[in-house]
Chain A
Amino acid sequence: MAISVDAPEISRALCQKAGYTYTFLADPHADVIRRYDLVHTGAGINGQDIARPGEFLVDASGTVRWVNLTDNYWVRARPDQIIAVAKALR
């Protein structure tokens, strides 16, 4: 699932344009982003609070099994990395 401060309509347009089929969730006031300590204060295009990049693999019991918090937003987790850790989930 992808989570950002974008409104549902913006994510819907993005999914249609890019062909994404997974769930996109809207956190317009960054409440969940704040609970996960991922707020990047004032970094939005209009100075609003947005999420810094962060990926969490959560198992069926709700426990975090893998985390990736990049220190450079040009450098993100690669699909092959995520597939490898997801396969290790039982």
Chain B
Amino acid sequence: MQTHRFNWPIWAGFLLSWLALLSYFFVFVWFPVTRDVPWANFLLFGIAAAFVLIGVRRAFAPGRPRRAKIAGVALAPLSVALCGCFVFATLIMARHLPASQSAPQMGQKAPDFRLSDTHGTLVSLAEILASPVNGHAPKGVLLVFYRGAW
């Protein structure tokens, strides 16, 4: 009598797809070498795809029970969807940024402004550039515009 062994490759591929998706946001995003081009995650997705393919072949091999086929039909598209989510989040959604063609360019004057700091004190760009740092006139200031903390 034929024994139906557990179809581990399909589950390994599915779990590896989750790892490939989540590891970017929790691990690889902290290192510029794996963040700017997410090659490590694509490598993990590649390995996951190999496991899923092996798993699907197993699921549809002759003599496998119906539930093995169901697992294959359910987990393979879910794994592909996880890869799709990753591509969407890192390569498509992340590039949906305005062009900012009228932003100040090199050689132009930075528009002055006056805004409240964390103590509620109004601070202007001109004041910052004129106020000494450690007894010396500042050489300049770096303005970092960011999306906000959440």
B147 and A56 within 8 A (CB) = no
B106 contacts A by Cβ under 8 Å: yes
Known: A25-B123, A65-B140. A3 touches B115 (CB 8 A): yes
Check if A55 sits within 8 Å of B117, measured CB to CB: no
Chain A neighbourhood of B129, CB < 8 A = 58, 60-62
Complex interface bits, B81-101 against A, C-beta within 8 A gives 1, otherwise 0? 000000000110011011011
Q: Supply 6 further A-B pairs (C-beta < 8 A) apart from A51-B148, A53-B97, A60-B140.
A: A3-B146, A8-B117, A54-B145, A58-B141, A64-B110, A74-B36
Contact with B along A11-45 (1 / 0, CB 8 A): 11011000000011111000111011111110111
- On whether A39 and B98 interact (CB within 8 A), knowing A63-B110, A89-B139, the answer reads yes
The 8 A-B residue pairs with the shortest CB-CB distance in the complex, in nearest-first order: A37-B102, A25-B115, A12-B118, A32-B113, A51-B145, A59-B140, A56-B143, A54-B145
Size category, B interface: 35 or more
Mask: chain B, 106-134; 1 = CB below 8 Å from A; 0 = not: 11111111011111100101101100000
A-B contact pairs, 9 of them (CB 8 A): A1-B143, A2-B144, A37-B103, A56-B145, A58-B143, A62-B129, A64-B108, A66-B106, A72-B90
In whole Å, how far is B78's beta carbon from the nearest beta carbon of chain A?
24
Q: Please name all residues of chain A whose beta carbon is closer than 8 Å to the beta carbon of B27 when the two chains form the complex.
A: none
Q: Which residues of A contact B138 (CB under 8 A)?
A: 60
Please, which residues of chain B bring their CB within 8 A of the CB of A75? 35-36, 94
Closest partner residue, chain A, to B140 (CB atom): A59
Separation of A65 and B128 alpha carbons in the complex (Å): 16
A1 and B35 contacting across the interface, CB-CB below 8 Å = no
Minimum CB–CB distance from B121 to chain A (whole Å) comes to 9
Q: How far is the CA of A44 from the CA of B126 in the complex (A)?
A: 29
Chain B residue, CB-CB nearest to A8: B118
How far apart are the CA atoms of A59 and B140 in the complex, in Å?
A: 4
Partner pick for B147 among A53, A67, A82, CB 8 A cutoff: A53
Q: A24's contact among B112, B118, B139, by CB below 8 Å, is which? A: B118
A38, B101: Cα distance in complex, Å: 9
Closest residue on chain A to residue B149 by CB atoms: A14
